[in-house]
Amino acid sequence: MRESVTITACVKGAIAMGNAIHDNDSQVLYLKQRLNMFLEVLESVDPESAELEDIDRMIQMVDDLELKVQQFKKS
């Protein structure tokens, strides 16, 4: 149950980081922060007790990160 709270908090934190970023250095920093956040979530999950909901949240984090990479490539 604790892992679910951690994942939910990280996903909400990632969503809150929604300000526009235009310069390349800030974009790279943003992506590094998001990737580190995802890695923290991944490390905190107990594979024995992870629920489908937890896995779905992590997949959403990866999808969101991929979307940002594509957006940054276009700018």
> Does the pTM exceed 0.85?
no
pLDDT of residue 7: 55
Q: Tell me the pLDDT tens digit for each residue of 2-49.
A: 445 555 555 555 444 556 788 899 999 999 999 999 999 999 999 999
**Residue 2's closest CA among 58, 35, 41?**
41
At 6, list the tokens. 């951690």
| Structural domains counted in the chain | 1
pLDDT of residue 20: 75
In sequence order, what are the residues at sequence separation of 6 or more whose Cβ sits closer than 8 angstroms to the Cβ of residue 39?
none
Range of the domain at 57: 2-74
For tokens 């940054």, the residue is 72
Q: Tell me the pLDDT tens digit for each residue of 43-75.
A: 999 999 999 999 999 999 999 999 999 999 998
